[in-house]
Amino acid sequence: QRHYEASLTAALRQKFPACRWLVGDALVTAAARAYVRSEPPRRPCIAEYGGTFPQHLARWEGAGAVPYLEAFARLEWTVGQISIAVDGPPLSWPSLCRVGSERLLDTHLTLQPCVRYLRFPWAVDDLMVLYMNETEPERFTLSRCDAPIEVRGARGAVSLNRLDAGTFAFRNALTAGDTIGVAADVALDAYPAFD
């Protein structure tokens, strides 16, 4: 049992190196040990284990001093998930045009498995870019703001893109399974200048 818990704790620590960089190894390791005991894996796939760890970590003793920790950990979890994704074959523009303008608005699109859309009340993407670039500025202020983010990656390469409200709403609606027409309406409601 002890070896099993130690292995799972080590796996969680490996999935959240940016959180260890941000708040220290001791805090993340202690939270991971408690998480392993309270929420053991429900499936045999270790790659899927830890999806709720960001919420657990944010509630851990000492984490209250970092109010954006849950958002940062959720972003890190997402980066880890998409970095191992594999792109599917893309839809070509001529294929899309063959649908015809009269049916285009009622068409559903499936986005690549290596793309996710997240929205945070903190600019945690700026902090993640510092970590990924191994940059340590003398001073850094994390701003509280609306941060709609596209996380894109495959085979280890990751990019974080801050989107305007309309583009985020449109793409997020497509991800949720809405048609192009419904997604465009959602985007226009969020951002009237959406094109």
pTM confidence score = 0.90
Name the pLDDT band for 102 (thresholds 50, 70, 90).
confident
pLDDT interval class at 170 (50, 70, 90): very high
The pLDDT tens digits for 24-68 are 999 999 999 999 999 988 887 787 889 999 999 999 998 888 999
CA nearest neighbour of 16 among 63, 64, 78: 78
3-state SS track over the chain: CHHHHHHHHHHHHHHCHHHHHHHCHHHHHHHHHHHHHHCCCCCCCHHHCCCCHHHHHHHCCCHHHCCCHHHHHHHHHHHHHHHCCCCCCCCCHHHHHCCCHHHHCCCECCCCCCEEEEEEEECHHHHHHHHHCCCCCCCCCCCEEEEEEEEEEECCEEEEEECCHHHHHHHHHHHCCCEHHHHHHHHHHHCCCCC
Question: Looking at residue 135, what is its pLDDT?
Answer: 85
pLDDT score at 85? 80
Residue 167: which pLDDT band, with cuts at 50, 70 and 90? very high
Task: Kindly indicate the confidence band of residue 99, based on its pLDDT and cuts at 50, 70 and 90.
Answer: confident
**pLDDT tens digits, 125-166:** 999 999 999 988 888 888 899 999 999 987 768 899 999 999
